[in-house]
Amino acid sequence: MDASALASAESWLSIIGSAKLIAAFLVALGVVIEFGGDWVAKPFEKTIEDARKLELGELHKQSDEAKRETARLSAEAETARKETAQAKLELEQLRAKVGPRNINATKFLEELSGKPTAPVEILFPKENGEAFGLAMQFRDLLRTAGWTVPEPKPIPPNEIPRVADQPSHMAAGGQPTGVAVAVRADTQEEMRSFSASLNVRPGFPFNSDLGAKSDPALAALYAAIIQSVGEASAHIGGANSFNTPAKGTFRIIVGPKP
């Protein structure tokens, strides 16, 4: 083997040896960096983890605050809804109090459906336009139900001496205010029958004889008025007790609004 080939081989072996040393160094350096990097990175990882926890805690706090705010707004909305409903109710009550009276036509006609009929006259105070309007409603609904009803008339002047100081509608069988039904009873039997007919709700003041046979037409008429208007008084008496309607005719007196 010549000297040049030997020198070349020795040169390559030296290079390879150096490369192996460098590789071993790099491996050792990598191990050191790996373990050292973990040690060095721990503070930074902790900082990041703490920041994430802080951010997560802040998000939870904001979420809790948002929930509380939502609950508060919901409570305020519910309060506002109740206040609005109450205001609407009070407004309707005020309208009912200051506005004209109206009959609930559905309830009125339901009470009269399929019931016997009878002649009815309707009276109202002459100068009371609101009472006249309600009297016309009674007329229309009674006619719809098939009852015989002439045109409503103003209440005639009071000609009964003992009630001369009372309003004319009271002498006709009404009360100071409101709607009333008046009927003429000339016998005790008629008085008992009409009393039984008007005893259509608990606590009504008539002491009706439960054995008396009621008048179905009068009972239906009185029940229809109560159900559709809300309140009604009644008067039963002979020809000498008040300005009575004709015998066999029921009278509706539409007095002033309560």
Q: Where in the sequence is the domain holding 250, given as residue range(s)?
A: 105-254
**Residue 127 and residue 250 in one domain:** yes
Tell me: the pLDDT tens digits for 164-185? 667 777 878 888 899 999 999 8
The predicted structure's pLDDT at residue 123: 96
Question: Mean pLDDT across the stretch 198-209?
Answer: 49
pLDDT exceeds cutoff 80 at 21: no
% of the chain at pLDDT higher than 70: 77
The last residue of one of the domains, among 81, 99, 117, is 99
**Residue 87 and residue 209 in one domain:** no
- Return the CA Rg of the chain: 49
**Residue 56 and residue 120 in one domain:** no
Asked if 122 contacts 135 with a C-beta cutoff of 8 angstroms, the reply is yes
**Residue 109 and residue 237 in one domain:** yes
Q: Which two tokens stand for residue 251?
A: 């009278």
Count how many domains the chain has. 2
pTM over 0.85: no
**Residue 75 and residue 169 in one domain:** no
**Residue 208's pLDDT band (cuts 50, 70, 90):** very low
- Cα dist from 131 to 100, 178, 217, 245, whole Å: 8, 9, 24, 19
pLDDT exceeds cutoff 60 at 210: no
> CA-to-CA distance for 55 and 45, rounded, in angstroms?
15
- Cα dist from 169 to 50, 124, 193, whole Å: 90, 7, 24
**Residue 143 and residue 181 in one domain:** yes
**Residue 95 and residue 111 in one domain:** no
**Residue 9 and residue 87 in one domain:** yes
The predicted structure's pLDDT at residue 157: 78
**Residue 4 and residue 121 in one domain:** no
The predicted structure's pLDDT at residue 31: 62
The predicted structure's pLDDT at residue 206: 43
The predicted structure's pLDDT at residue 161: 66
> CA-to-CA distance for 190 and 250, rounded, in angstroms?
13
Burial 167-188 (b: 16+ CB within 10 A, else e): bbbbbbbbbeebbbbbbbbeee
**Residue 81 and residue 112 in one domain:** no
The predicted structure's pLDDT at residue 189: 86
Torsion of CA 77, 81, 86, 87, to 10 degrees: 90
% of the chain at pLDDT higher than 90: 31
**Residue 171 and residue 223 in one domain:** yes
**Residue 158's pLDDT band (cuts 50, 70, 90):** confident
Q: If you search the block for the tokens 């902790």, which residue do you land on? A: 46
> CA-to-CA distance for 119 and 142, rounded, in angstroms?
10
The last residue of one of the domains, among 99, 116, 150, is 99
**Residue 125 and residue 215 in one domain:** yes
> Picking from 26-35, 54-63, 142-151, which range would have the lowest pLDDT averaged per residue?
26-35
249: helix, strand or coil? coil
The last residue of one of the domains, among 65, 99, 133, is 99
Tell me the pLDDT of the chain averaged across its residues.
81
